[in-house]
Amino acid sequence: MIRIAVNGVAGQMGQVVRRHADDRDDVGVVLGISSGATAAVDVPVVPSGGRAAALESHAVDAVVDFSTHEALTALADDCAEAGVALVTGTTGLGADEQDTLDRASESVPVLHAPNFSRGIHALLGALTAALETLPGYDVEVLETHHNRKQDAPSGTAGRILETIAEVREFETVAGREGIQPREADEVGMLVRRAGDVRGEHEVLLADNAEVLTLTHRAEDRAVFAAGALDAAAWLVDREPGRYAFAELFEDG
């Protein structure tokens, strides 16, 4: 069994990861890391200040992280020090955080993904095919998340824009206001925040005669927990380096 530590175990996604691991035979959560209340957590919990030592003393194989980008630098350093693989779904990363992950990946395997959904992976593949088949079509992206999400647009929307950029050149337009006719070389990026929406992403491609939409909707956060645990199970035997969620599917 692969021994997992959950960073941010008391958070919403951390709790889902812990519960989902209980239903699996290949992974098990042996340690939680949290700076908040942990009364409902049924595994040993340490604060971030004691994380590196705890990762070693609990013989952790991989850390699964859904926390904040501000906390990621210290986490990556601790994983590198303890020799523990890191899987993180934390979004809103800037250049500094990406550099931190690069440094950690010199010592341990690191996998960062803005979305651990298999459906999103399929959507990105379908989007590439659609863009190649429909080169002159207008493209718009719409994403919707719960009203507590801090970063906008979402990390997944950013990955969708990266996929579009692999096929065509464009200028991103964040919403529209006033007199702003659409230019041929732009992609609109629209964001909504409401209620408890887990995550919805839609890509619209249109010309004057037809419309194609590619849509993914997450009905439960367990989708992301399952993907992150799949990634952890896949990652632990890898050499140090940066890895992508898509590589799991390339291995079959």
Say how many residues make up the chain: 252
Structure tokens at 101: 């992950």
Positions marked active-site: 145, 149
Q: What are residue 190's DSSP bridge partners? A: 142
DSSP reduced 3-state for 16 = helix
Helix 118-133 × helix 222-235 angle, to 10°: 90
3-class SS letters over 90-129? CCCCCHHHHHHHHHHCCCCEEEECCCCCHHHHHHHHHHHH
* Rounded Cα–Cα distance for residues 123 and 246 (Å): 12
Number of other CB atoms surrounding residue 171 within 10 Å:
8
Q: What is the C-alpha end-to-end distance of the chain, expressed in Å?
A: 21
Kind of pairing, strands 200-206 and 241-243?
A: unpaired
DSSP 159-190: HHHHHHHTT---EEE----SS-PPPTTEEEEE
